[in-house]
Chain A
Amino acid sequence: MNNQAASMQAVPAEANAPLVEVRELHRVFDLSKRWLNRVLEGSGKVVLTAVDGVDMTIRRGETYALVGESGSGKSTIAKMVVGLLPPTSGTVHINGVDIWGERGARQRQMRRKIQMIFQDPFASLNPRWRVGSIVAEPIKAFGLIADAHDRQARVGELLSLVGLDPLDAGKFPHEFSGGQRQRIAIARALASEPEFIVCDEPTSALDVSVQAQVLNLLRDLQERLGLTYLFISHNLAVVRHMATRVGVLYLGRLVEEAPSRELFSEPKHPYTRMLLDAVPDIGMEGVEREPIAGEIPNPVNPPPGCHFNPRCPHVMEHCRTTVPPLCEVNQANVLCHLYEGGALARPYGI
């Protein structure tokens, strides 16, 4: 495994303390055929490096967005951060607790503070449970409210918090539209009083007019309850609207990380520029754009050196051999040879 992206400790001391700290996170999937087939066919092991040394720090009250195309490792990171998938190596600390190191009561206590909202609200709600039971489950599971009456009241409270009627608790999920189901999923996530919510493509299964409702609701709840989000999306316009800090993933590596404003006004990594250029946007109507060449390569066999080198318009000789170092430019961290040594603040025209 590469030892790139040394460590990113240069976090400026700010009022907001880090809530989530991810260090040197790796995840490798073994895609090899069975042992006997390998022997007979003389083929070796095949591994896919889904996440390759990712460092992130998410501060309290922040919305950290991960963007990237399919196969870049967004969802794998999300699963490792919430504790659904063990990392191959690396650590995830939430509130100072190592979620993969702790066991027992302390882990349980900490798990309560993490919740997840999934992409497809048609798959994430049990169709045979009433909405009330769905929302009450985390409360029961963590033993938060013992009295059934109080619990019911709390469910009603949660439902009205996400803009549903408390009486909806008696209905089944199929009686709701996609947007309303996503609200139910949000109410369920809020039931255990979490501090940190991972939203994995929360609106990509929804229609535009409903997407706006859910995005606004998420922002509202963040303000009211002081939540911290890890927001995963492939839609850059949505990310721009939600995030305070953005990380751009390419084949398992965080190629650029910056405050949202800076990333969108002054993208640094050639891949980020390419992505921003490629988004069809209603504001850019009538503008002819240069389409980008190539597609994301097969993650089983990524190009050596910088993974982006075959598609990069600024590729240099050593990009093809050496993994680029992490460079700090303004408030951004960029994984690119162009910014090496801090010499180039702006390597090419902006």
Chain B
Amino acid sequence: MNPTLSVKNLRVEIPTRRGVLTAIDDLSFDIAPGEVLGVVGESGAGKSITGSAIIGLLDPPGRIASGEIRLGKERIDNLPPSAMRRIRGNRIGMIFQDPLTSLNPLYRIGEQLTETILTHERMSAKAAWEKAERLLIEVGIPAAGTRLSSYPHQFSGGMRQRVVIALALAADPELVIADEPTTALDVSVQAQIISLLKRLCKDRGTSVMLITHDMGVIAETADRVCVLYAGRLAEIGAVRDVVKHAQHPYSLGLMAAIPSLSGNPDEKLEQIPGSMPRLGAIPEGCAFNPRCTYAFERCRMERPAVYPAGASRASCFLHDLAGGQMPPTETLRRAEADGILLTAPAGEGGR
């Protein structure tokens, strides 16, 4: 089956006075039809830039330097702005973090919805209004008929985000990019919005790219997850595998660092020393090597490719034991004890 979205070797550069920064470096992933792909990472990891690059809304001077983005069979990274405009909203829907800034405060909800519908579909104003009402009912807004003539400020935060979801789905897109859709909402409302988004996309077979820093949201929503670190792919795989059996030292550390409602509260949280490097100061070799407890010679010299690792794929030399330089046996033993599944036997006394 053809993927809905396919990103290959994407590289996004931001030229500055002090030189060219590489915000996204050699990133590849696919999203299958109907699949929810979670994109996680800490701030500055390049999550949102990836989203902007796909919809062609990179802030200048940021630019796609190489690689390709395909939506269905069509290549969309080199389209002229006018063609891209037809794709945005029509074939790719977008949901942003703050529902207040994505709605125009001066227009009624109904006007904003019908405008979107009429831009992408040929129908009468009356039919569009009816479709808008159906959409509002679908996203669970009570008294949808009368609410169409309300202004955004008359809705609460959760209701506003529902309207934004209705807007994103108005033209039945193939892909929805949701950038931190629940970060501005309270916990109880967040749960409602997540399950709504999940249900709607499942019913319509829409693929979702869910960008968030909240691993809990990903664990509950996504089918697969892609962990970014310093603009590079750290690990990609099924949610269950990455959450329970992370294979990249960074994702492993990240999962252990998240306080959970099921862990032992008396135990200290695992912590990753240091913090993510700034874009201008990404270290040689593997970007994670200064913070990695398993780092060895090769990690400091060479950049890892993406290797099969357990059930997922990780960009870490621990999973490339066949080629190149071997890490010290002690490191391998430690990695194995921590749950990293090595591809080749870790020396004679590995287990």
Contact = CB atoms under 8 A, between A and B. Distances in A.
Contacts of B42: 207-210
A331 B262 CA distance: 22
B220 interface: yes
Interface stretch (B107-115, B123-131, B184-192, B313-321): B184-192
Contacts of A296: 186, 188
A69 B189 CA distance: 10
Q: Is the interface of B mostly helix, strand, loop or mixed?
A: helix
Q: Is the interface of A mostly helix, strand, loop or mixed?
A: helix
Given A237-B259, A260-B265, A280 B275 contact: no
A151 interface: no
Nearest to B260: A283
B158 A295 contact: yes
A282 B257 contact: no
A212 B257 contact: yes
Interface stretch (A39-47, A138-146, A270-278): A270-278
B187 A279 contact: yes
B216 interface: yes
Interface stretch (A173-181, A190-198, A314-322): A173-181
B324 interface: no
Nearest to B187: A278
A231 to B, nearest CB: 13
Contacts of B156: 295
B65 interface: no
Given A240-B265, A291-B195, A280 B188 contact: no
Interface in B233-284: 239-240, 243-244, 253-255, 257-263, 265, 268-273, 275-276
Contact of A209 (B158, B187, B240, B272): B272
Contacts of A103: none
A179 to B, nearest CB: 6
B259 A238 contact: yes
B157 to A, nearest CB: 7
B156 to A, nearest CB: 5
Given A69-B188, A207-B276, A212-B272, A281 B261 contact: yes
Contacts of A284: 219-220, 261-262
A216 B267 CA distance: 10
Contacts of B220: 280-281, 284-285, 287
A283 B191 contact: no
B150 interface: no
B194 to A, nearest CB: 7
B244 to A, nearest CB: 8
A292 interface: yes
Interface in B156-170: 156-159
Contact of A278 (B43, B191, B215, B270): B191
B213 interface: yes
Contacts, number: 138
| Interface size bracket, B side | 35 or more
Interface residues of A, number: 46
Given A208-B215, A282-B219, A241 B259 contact: yes
A345 interface: no
A276 B240 contact: no
Contacts of B265: 240-241, 260-261, 264
B269 A212 contact: yes
- Best-surrounded residue of A274, A287, A291 (most CB of chain B within 10 A): A291
Contacts of B192: 291-293
Contacts of A240: 259, 261, 265
25 contacts: A69-B187, A69-B188, A177-B275, A207-B42, A208-B213, A212-B258, A212-B259, A212-B269, A216-B268, A216-B271, A236-B261, A237-B259, A241-B265, A241-B269, A264-B265, A277-B191, A280-B190, A280-B216, A281-B216, A281-B219, A281-B260, A282-B219, A284-B262, A291-B194, A295-B188
Interface of A: 69-70, 177-180, 207-213, 215-216, 219, 234-238, 240-241, 260-261, 264, 274-287, 289, 291-293, 295-296
Interface of B: 42-43, 156-159, 186-192, 194-195, 213-217, 219-221, 239-240, 243-244, 253-255, 257-263, 265, 268-273, 275-276
Those 9 A-B pairs whose CB atoms lie nearest each other, nearest first: A283-B262, A280-B216, A207-B42, A212-B257, A69-B186, A212-B269, A278-B191, A237-B259, A241-B259
